[in-house]
Structure 1
Amino acid sequence: MSSFDPYEFIRSRQSPEEFKELNWLGTFDDYVRIVTANPKVTRNAFQRMYDMILSHGIEEYVEFKKKIYRYRFFDDPIENGADGIFGLEVPLMKLVNFFRAAAFGYGPEKRVLLLHGPVGSCKSTIARLLKKGIEQYSRTPHGALYSFSWKMDLHHDHLDHCPMNQEPLLLIPRAIRDEFIEELNPRHGTDFQVRVEGDLDPYCQRHYDELMLRYNGDWSQVMQHVVVRRLLLSE
């Protein structure tokens, strides 16, 4: 029997390249280049959830003259069927249609989704699956997303993370944000349209305002204090 080297066993199953990708840090300029190459990194939560479900594939069949779509994600391919859901194709179709409508901005994104049903109807399992799926998706190249941190003291490495993990493009001044997006969208060469809605959360807005005062309104100097980072979703 060959000897067992625990260090070699562990080392051979690690990927420094993957670690580097998942812990990526960069400047705001770096992030804009990423967005130009892959605008889907700016997707909102509904778009991301919908794409995650579709990424696992769809099966189509006819039952009682009605077309049924079975989303393979709900078979739980992540844990080999541990939380697989069967026999609820129609309710799951309605659930995915909700995410689809919200992803396209048709109105459901402004509402609260309530899973209602008797005990044992897979409500908790569905929620657990969605959570598990989006966490795993955020670790893939297709599901990559980013947020930012503040480096208030450029002489130290301490970072203050955005508490709401907001989209870095929110750092673009609101007065010119729409114009920036209009310039950006034709450049990435895809059908996806980058949309940035909302404002910085109060914590980040305070840092932003403080730095704008420090640099007399020089936005480029403020961006020297911003570190964009890859965001991994985890409960």
Structure 2
Amino acid sequence: MNILDKVKSYREEENRLKWEGTFADYLNIIKERPEVAQTAHSRVYNMVKSAGVEERDGQKMYEFFGQEIFGLETAIERLVEEYFHPAARRLDVRKRILLLMGPVSGGKSTIVTLLKRGLEQFSRTDEGAVFAIKGCPMHEDPLHLIPHHLRNDFYEEYGIRIEGSLSPLNTMRLEQEYDGRIENVMIERITFSEDKRVGIGTFTPSDPKSQDIADLTGSIDFSTIGEFGSESDPRAYRFDGELNKANRGMMEFQEML
């Protein structure tokens, strides 16, 4: 197969991965495949585990890292079993930032790169599929559409716990575009891509003394205030910060200390 055939094959694969439907259609999907609604930590843990785990002399060896990382088996086991595994189970460790410390050329950047590239590929599989509210700049979880007072009922029916609230932007869109009918809200499948700024972000501070927080969180677009009437209108906000784009996936902060 020459390069043009491979490009064509990749394009066909991209088209195959595209999916779009209503929230009602999405509920049918998660009823058959609850793993679609997994959290970001759970997705990373399942990605690592799906590559294969072998135990040697009481030490777990993860094939996901096996081709690139050598001599760090104990550290990697702690990373997976003491951070990602309990975080995937929604324990409090999921609220912490994972800090990798070590000497130069110690494998820190390689580990992060493997996780980011792995997530890009895993989101293209059925096991790692990710769905989001269509048109949302932060790729918001569609389950946020379920009202808080109905989430216990949702858990009893689907066995899935929902965390987080619907963003102000999508709350406004729900009322204005869908007349409050959550079942009609359009949902799409997304694939993570650091290059396209979807689900994976990287932040390197240029100057700690003058760094603009907007690089992380986005900012108000003052040019739209005349159109929308107020800077508090969610449509007047630019969701272009790295944290906005990394939502649902992974965010890397480089040289934070």
Superposition deviation, residue 233 in structure 1: 0.5
Q: What amino acid sits opposite 2:147 in the alignment?
A: P
Superposition deviation, residue 14 in structure 1: 5.2
C-alpha contact (below 8 Å) 2:86/2:93 kept by paired residues: yes
RMSD: 2.2
C-alpha contact (below 8 Å) 1:170/1:200 kept by paired residues: yes
Superposition deviation, residue 37 in structure 1: 0.6
Point out which structure has higher relative CO (alpha carbons under 8 A, 6+ apart).
Answer: 1
C-alpha contact (below 8 Å) 1:22/1:230 kept by paired residues: yes
Superposition deviation, residue 6 in structure 1: 8.4
Q: Given the alignment of the two structures, is residue 207 of structure 1 paired with residue 202 of structure 2, yes or no?
A: no
Q: Given the alignment of the two structures, is residue 96 of structure 1 paired with residue 80 of structure 2, yes or no?
A: yes
C-alpha contact (below 8 Å) 1:36/1:184 kept by paired residues: yes
Q: Which has the larger radius of gyration?
A: 1
How many angstroms apart in 2 are the aligned matches of 1:106 and 1:201? 24
The aligned residue for residue 190 of structure 1 is: none
From 1, 19, 27, give the equivalent of 1:24. Answer: 19
Query: SS of 2:26's equivalent?
Result: helix
From 146, 153, 156, give the equivalent of 1:179. Answer: 153
* TM norm structure 2: 0.69
* TM norm structure 1: 0.75
C-alpha contact (below 8 Å) 2:20/2:188 kept by paired residues: yes
The aligned residue for residue 143 of structure 1 is: 128
The aligned residue for residue 153 of structure 1 is: none
State the aligned residue count: 193
C-alpha contact (below 8 Å) 1:147/1:230 kept by paired residues: yes
The 3 A distance-change label for structure 1 pair 211 and 73 is same
How many angstroms apart in 2 are the aligned matches of 1:106 and 1:118? 30
Q: What amino acid sits opposite 1:104 in the alignment?
A: R
How many angstroms apart in 1 are the aligned matches of 2:167 and 2:122? 25
C-alpha contact (below 8 Å) 1:69/1:93 kept by paired residues: yes
Superposition deviation, residue 172 in structure 1: 1.5
Q: What amino acid sits opposite 2:77 in the alignment?
A: M
Q: Given the alignment of the two structures, is residue 13 of structure 1 paired with residue 4 of structure 2, yes or no?
A: no
C-alpha contact (below 8 Å) 2:151/2:161 kept by paired residues: no
From 74, 78, 83, give the equivalent of 2:65. Answer: 74
How many angstroms apart in 2 are the aligned matches of 1:5 and 1:69? 40
Q: After TM superposition, list the pairs within 5 Å mapping 1:211-230 onto structure 2.
A: 211=177, 215=179, 219-220=180-181, 223-224=183-184, 226-230=185-189
Task: In structure 2, list runs of 5 or more residues that go unmatched.
Answer: 195-257
Identity %: 39
The structure 1 segments of at least 4 consecutive aligned residues displaced by more than 2 Å after TM superposition are: 4-7, 9-16, 18-21, 208-212
How many angstroms apart in 2 are the aligned matches of 1:6 and 1:102? 41
From 33, 36, 60, give the equivalent of 2:31. Answer: 36
Q: What amino acid sits opposite 1:24 in the alignment?
A: W
Task: In structure 1, list runs of 5 or more residues that go unmatched.
Answer: 76-80, 150-160, 186-193
CA deviations 1:20-56 (Å, max 9, x no partner) are: 4311111111101100110000000000000000010
Query: SS of 1:13's equivalent?
Result: helix
From 166, 170, 175, give the equivalent of 2:140. Answer: 166
